Amino acid sequence: MIDHGSSLPYHLNTIEMDSEWNKWLLIQTAAFLPTILVQFRDAGMLTPAFLDILPLPSDGVADFVAKLSGSLTAALKEQALIPAENGSHGFAKEIFYPTSEELRRFPSPEDLAELTEIQGAAWLHHEIRDTRASQRRFDVVKAAGVVEIGASKLITWLAKKGADWIKSKDDAWLLACCRFPSALSGEVFSLTRLSM
């Protein structure tokens, strides 16, 4: 895409760093990348797997093309481009990943908004996890600002909701709630202190 009609070669080691044309082209491309990402999203192409090709700050991107990398990172932070579990895309500040997959199963969308104090809060897409298989895409969304909801935040929120609210939940919800801390040995005691 960049090479067509330009003086940019196919290999970064042979780019003419002093070329005014190359500098201008990179600036224009960096400015256009956020628009491309939005078009990819709207066409259904901004999938979790797509994130695997995006650069990370730790990649050591050459200074000459740093504007491109910075433009992509900024777009992920500033636009609704992060794949969510509900099939939509959200702003990084609205998307959260659970400390355990069990946590993903029981807060409703309304509960998640209340828990995070962010209207429209959503879970990160389940194909983006802190695992070896999806580590790169996970690192990309973390660099964009997606944050974890941990056990202590959940337990504090449940304590504020109170026993009557917890008792009003159905058996499936209560079972998921009870399974969640089993993966978090240090937090079990805190959850058992809630008077149910």
pLDDT value at residue 42: 97
Count of domains observed in the chain? 1
pLDDT score recorded for residue 12 = 54
Residues spanned by the domain of 16: 1-81
Q: What is the pLDDT of residue 39?
A: 96
pLDDT the model gives residue 148: 92
23 in any annotated domain = yes
What per-residue confidence (pLDDT) applies to 196?
Answer: 47
The answer to whether position 163 is within a domain reads no
What is the predicted pLDDT for the residue at 14?
62
The beta strand positions in the chain, using DSSP E, are 82-83, 89-90, 95-98, 122-123, 147-149
Instruction: Measure CA 147 to chain center.
Output: 7
pLDDT given for residue 43 in this prediction: 97
pLDDT of residue 95: 97
pLDDT in tens, the chain (196 residues): 444 455 555 555 566 778 888 888 888 988 999 999 999 999 999 999 999 999 887 888 777 777 888 889 899 999 999 999 999 999 999 999 988 877 887 788 888 999 999 999 999 999 999 999 999 999 999 999 999 988 788 888 888 888 888 888 888 877 777 776 655 544 444 445 554 4
Whether 88 is in a domain gets the answer no
Kindly state whether residue 75 falls inside one of the protein's structural domains.
Answer: yes
In a domain, 72, yes or no: yes
The pLDDT of residue 21? 85
Side-chain-side CA neighbours of 181 within 13 Å: the count stands at 19
- The verdict on residue 109 lying in a domain is no
CA angle 46, 141, 118 (to 5 degrees): 100
Cα–Cα distance measured from residue 100 to residue 116, given in angstroms and rounded to the nearest whole number: 16
User: Is 12 inside a domain boundary?
Assistant: yes
Q: Is residue 66 part of a domain?
A: yes
